[in-house]
Structure 1
Amino acid sequence: MAIKPLGVLIVEDEIPLREELRIFPWEACGAEWIGEASNGSEAMQLCAERTPDVVITDITMPVMDGIALIRELRKRHPNVQIILLTCHSDFHYVHEALRLGALEYILKVSLEEEELKKAMDKVRAAVVKERMVQEHARREQRQLQAALFSKLLHGQEPAGSDWQSMTLSVDRPIRLVRLQLDIPHLAYLPVKETVQQRLTEQEKRDPNWLTWLTVREREYFVLLEDRAHSDTVLESLRTLVQHLTELLNREETKQGRLAAVYAFLSKPVTSKEGIASELAYSNEWKDALFYDRCPEESAVYALHSLPLSDLTEKKTKELNEILRKASWSPASLKECLLGEFRDWCIAERVKPSQLKERILHWQVDWHRQQEGTELSAARMGLLMDAGTLAEMIANIVQDMEAAELGKSRSRFEIRLAVKWIKDHLKEPISLPVIAEQVGLSPHYISKLFREETGSTVNQYITRLRMEKAIELLRHSNKKVYEVAEEVGIPSYRYFTVTFRNWTGVSPTDYKRNG
């Protein structure tokens, strides 16, 4: 584990010895001299300012001796390693110093370069071990906190033990920061590790940082101790957002547009109820970004207006009517999505999850009305994951264009066959019957179907029937045998075997657990 040079603080009341240690070749030991003091009291002041990795201290000194210094270091700076400089006359103090946590001791009269280097090697090994232990503890705590936040974000009630990873104090409130990285997934992957390294560096450097954690892709949470003035915290946060934005917009990560970083800063909280409340409020802030996000500008929000509305029955009718009037042609529909539909969404500011769910149903219905097209699972995922209104509309338009292109490239007979299969899914279907419907030979329609859809006729029919069965088992009260008949497989045994091969579970278990 590579570590930076160890910071060495010398505490010695004898000036000649301090001067000798000052010019010691610390670089050869992987260390650097960062200061000196003539007694323990001065040393404690320097420790507060410079945080050394190792203190090399005399035992017998005025004001505060070495033993008292070690006791104070153990209280205030427990990670600092200690090397004693001792004389034969005060050798009886060494045992007490070692008991208190000193790592090594060196006799002043025999102080040699090689002996000090060996002592520094021992310090370095102890520092590396301690940092590994601390890093492991930080990772464990980060994982526990991420699990807690995940439950809160999903509306689950955490157990009492889940909150043990949070150190809460009435005297020292904390603030929650939520960071949103607006960057395409493929552009983010190469810099993901660097982003997390940047957050870890900030955590080590900033005394206000308690921890950072992540629950979802391109999203981070930071917990700050609220002991600084709010303006200072905001300025520090703005600097972080600026640095992350520059990192995301390196030339090698750009993919057609600038990335942006958005940050939400909560009010100070001192209780688990406060954390849950601010996390819920940050969810509303994230939803508001669906409409407010500007792809050219990063921003920090300390207080943010969140006027979002529910998709009422009246608004649903308005939305349906806007899309219905424009559905007479693909060109008209695209114009509507980029114009009237977009303007309506911006004006009404419907909660994104509700808007996406309604548009998903509409998009599925639109595909059903098109011959030979269907909404893929990948397209559904793009719609539901869209971070902005503009991104959602762009995905819908791209899907429509892809569907139109697919229709123009596919043969009329195959589109006709697909439509006939969907319309007669409940009936017995065979290749000769399909061939008769489209006016081609069974062999030829089989060959064309595989070329244009990527599956055989039987595979396609089975997929449609299983997808329909899954929908009925999940959303209806029909019995399993009724579902089997509804999807065109009247044999209960054959339906059960096919369903298990398709899903990995029996239809009865799927209905029970779905």
Structure 2
Amino acid sequence: MIKVMVVDDDKLVRKGLISAMPWQNFDMEVVGEASNGEKALEFLQSNTVDLLLTDLAMPVMSGIELIKRVRKEFTHIYIVVLTLHQDFEYIQEALRLGAIDYIAKVQLEKERFEEVLERIYNRIAQEQKRAANLNEVYTSDQGYALLSLNNDVGDYWVEEWCEHANQLMIEVDSNLWLWTQPVEQSSELWLERLAHEVNTKSGWALIKLIGLYGRPHKDVHRWLREYREKDFFYDYDLDSSMGSILLQEWGCLRQVQSEKSINDLKEQWSSYEWIYQDSLFKQHIDALKMMRLPQAKLFGLLYTLIDKWNLLFYPVSLVKIQLLDSFDFWYQVDEWLINTRNMIRNAMDKPTFSQEVMESIVKAVYIAQEEMNQQITAVNIAKRVNMSRSYFSQCFKEIVGMNFSDYLRQVRIEKAKMFLLYTNKTILWIAENVGYMDEKYFSRTFREQTDMLPSKYRQTLGTGREMSDK
């Protein structure tokens, strides 16, 4: 007997479901009800439930939060979502979290009770069979994973292909399938046709798996889900119909990256040499890809680099670098980096100045940004970039739009503003860390540039901002 619980904040919906559905016809029995997620969890703590029917939009605790808690604390319970048609995004989220099906409430209004319960009963039977299969081990050594990162694209076409080809695929997750039928002569043709079909689907990939033999189904399924989440982003090849994974080696290249290694890479990208040196640019790209950072962390790193690049290159190119809204795969990051580099180089390609001169001025800007806390002058900077004092000053002013001393002052004051707004550091500490050894001179220069003393600037503009002691 399948023990059922109904959770919905609408009492009429609960009572209607409990009284009208033909539970007994499908070996089911309603053993409990609740008006919100918290009460449902209280009931589950002391009662046996096999099937949970829950609404999504409820007070106190939403259906989504309830599903998360149940999947974590009561892993044996099957979950079906009660919803309205307009809750489609929530339905997708619920299915991703592990719900096996959903019931649109309009179906209940049409009294399609028998059909609804039969569908749920069959889904539970499928899940039970699938769970039993997960404990089995593979008897063949190779298979094929069919996957997509784009959860907005339906995978209904996979079932149609399987039916037409008389082939069996296991649905591991949303938009993630596994085909393990031995490759005999009869199925080789279908493999070619599947590869061709995949090429017509944007964002889909077919990957050959080697090393399945003797591995439990559940382990392979878990690996596949992890692979799609962590590695598929980097491995997807727009021009290749099929990739290949040797399971014994998968994951060996991906290592937990220390903050030091990430900071080292950030420092390399924060410099300017990669703009002109092709081999160095390629090394930086390869190193970034090899890190295989989670996408959120990769985006955060790129945002940080863009801030640095705009400070470094905008003064000499007047080009503002922007990040795309999203990247679905690594090759798009690669293309964006190449396009960004070309854009900067083209903007800095000034007919009146040689590439060597432009490199020298970019280097001077870099030094001003990185060493503003030190005592630097146009004289020693000119020497460091291998230019005469007079020619350096002339070129710097024509390219950047102001002389080096004015630019250095501007950089220092902008950095001081950041310290004032986002740290609790003293005025003396800030003055010294932007290159002014005399606090009074710093305060006078700051007021000349902003019409406010540093303390007044912090008091006026820093109110309500989160401060850091660092």
User: Do they fold alike, i.e. is TM over 0.5?
Assistant: no
TM-score range relative to shorter protein: 0.3 to 0.5
| Structure 2 length-normalised TM | 0.39
| Structure 1 length-normalised TM | 0.37
**If each structure's helix is expressed as a fraction of its own residues, which one has the higher value?**
1
For the pair shown, the structure with the greater C-alpha radius of gyration is: 1
